[in-house]
Structure 1
Amino acid sequence: MTNNSDESCIVRHIKSYGEIDQKDEGLLLSLEDGPCEWSKNAILWNQGEESDCFYTLKKGWVCAFRDLEDGSRQVLDIYVPGDIVGLREFAFQKRITSVVVLREAELCAFPKSHLAEIFSRSRTLSSIFFMITARDQAVLLERLVNLGRRSAREKLAHFLAEISHRLQRTNAQVESHLSLPLSQGVLADALGLSAVHVSRTFREFRLEGLVSTDNAHVKLLDIKGLEAVAGFDDFYLESTAGLLTGPDRQTDRQTAC
């Protein structure tokens, strides 16, 4: 069990959404399991397995996907360090997706049964978990628009720009030139494109100085340029700072209402 808030996966993530007090930190720390290491290509869980916990991603990259009847797959989300993995499946007894590790990872388990304790003991944490699921929903809605209404160039540029913005939210040390451990196959499965189409688009982006690619990695050389190609607007990723004003002021506001 984790006992240091500086090392806790979930505490760091929760604090990115709003201020929490020592009582809420202690509650989270008492319920979170310590980090476990997972190797590249390891399956975190398979679709149809019992849904008994979610995870916070401390290090590494993982992705959620669904296998299709024709043997192909649809990548539904790519999780970066600081993300919560599996929270969407809270209401289901069985897993509705599979999850695979893209790069050696450290994840902290958080049993779903512990959420009931959080909901009953902390109004602030309950509100933050609601905001996390709302943000996840907004990301999925934007992904639908990306899949259905944008060109291949716009799809790829938009997806890479989104990952960049999400990394900047969860990692304070992110540099302007980002190296993403994403193969062209993973990106094709995420964007509903063929690997050949993704390769052709990357060739265009390399010639334009937007990215470089090497050994299943993508380096973003010109994020602003990618945003311009995609017409990217980060409104759906905007900060929630200010929605919560701290436990004491929140209580005062509710009393006033």
Structure 2
Amino acid sequence: MADIKESPLTRKLQAFVALSEEELRVLERLHLRRRSFTAGRDLVHQGQSDQAAYILADGWVCSYKLQPNGTRQIVDFQIPGDFLGLRSVLLRTSDHSFEPITDILVAEVLADDLLEALERTPRLASAILWAASRDEAMVVEHLVGVARRAAEARMAHFLLEVGARMTLVGLGDKGGFACPLTQYHLADALGLSSVHVNRVLRRLRESGLVTFRDGRVTFGDYDKLVDLAEFDPAYLDQTGPLLK
């Protein structure tokens, strides 16, 4: 039980609900089927059906849509504590692909096991619905960023969001976080060219706001970066449990 209490998913869900011992035991059972996947090989393919869901325990994943011309748009990045493919379990067909960015460790959750767990523990079901709703809110912010924010504000907002998500699961703080993303990942996610990404990161670094080097994001002036991005973390809804 000690392990599940410290798991990234538990840390995240407890931003919404104070989980009981019974709910933690149910969550622990959802973690029993452990699997590992190597970087660069799709975990789930766009259009694939009859899939399990996965709880990401370690590593990073990107979710993306492949276009007919072979280009891709990264929709989001998944970090420890996130569900992968939850929507495709309920809709039966995945509308996008998941690619591990690093080697990853996941818990495989079969649809029947997930539905049974949600039926047995309504508060845990509410917490998972909260997590899914939060993911949807992030996708809305990403759409606004790509469509309306200037490049530097777009990058700043993205890095602040990931930093807040990492902090929630105990893997970051206002000083920064470890980050395996390349400039190509950032380009595909933010609607910029890799050359433009390089220029934007250089300008942010020279302004003393943030440095992204050697696999780590370091916030130089967190408050000024928040001002630049007009970053309001309310949509992440992680200020404390709503349900006791």
Task: Indicate the RMSD between aligned Cα atoms, in angstroms.
Answer: 2.3
Change (3 A) 1:200 1:12: closer
Within the alignment, does 1:74 sit opposite 2:81 as a pair? no
Q: Distance in 1 between matches of 2:207 and 2:2?
A: 49
The SS at the match of 1:91 is: helix
**Residue 181 of structure 2 corresponds to which residue in structure 1?**
182
Q: 2:218 aligns with which of 208, 217, 220?
A: 220
Report the identity percentage.
30
1:1-257 → structure 2 map (5 Å cutoff): 5-6=4-5, 10-171=9-170, 174=173, 176-214=175-213, 217-222=215-220, 223-239=222-238, 241-245=240-244
Query: Could you list the runs of 5+ residues in structure 2 that have no partner in the other structure?
Result: none
Moved more, 168-177 or 72-81: 168-177
Residues 29-56 of structure 1 deviation map (CA, whole Å, 9 limit, x = unaligned): 3343343222222321111112421111
Q: CA deviation at 1:139?
A: 1.0
Q: Distance in 1 between matches of 2:61 and 2:199?
A: 25
Residues 188-226 of structure 1 deviation map (CA, whole Å, 9 limit, x = unaligned): 1101111121111112112112333446x3522323332
Q: TM-score, normalised by structure 1?
A: 0.85
Change (3 A) 1:42 1:225: farther
Amino acid of the structure 2 residue aligned with 1:128 = A
Q: CA deviation at 1:152?
A: 0.8
Amino acid of the structure 2 residue aligned with 1:47 = Q
Amino acid of the structure 1 residue aligned with 2:196 = H
Moved more, 28-37 or 193-202: 28-37
Q: TM-score, normalised by structure 2?
A: 0.89
Change (3 A) 1:30 1:214: closer
Moved more, 39-48 or 235-244: 235-244
Change (3 A) 1:218 1:205: farther
Change (3 A) 1:227 1:242: same
The SS at the match of 2:105 is: strand
Q: CA deviation at 1:4?
A: 5.4
Q: Distance in 2 between matches of 1:126 and 1:77?
A: 23
Amino acid of the structure 1 residue aligned with 2:61 = V
Residues 57-95 of structure 1 deviation map (CA, whole Å, 9 limit, x = unaligned): 111111100111122100001011222222232322111
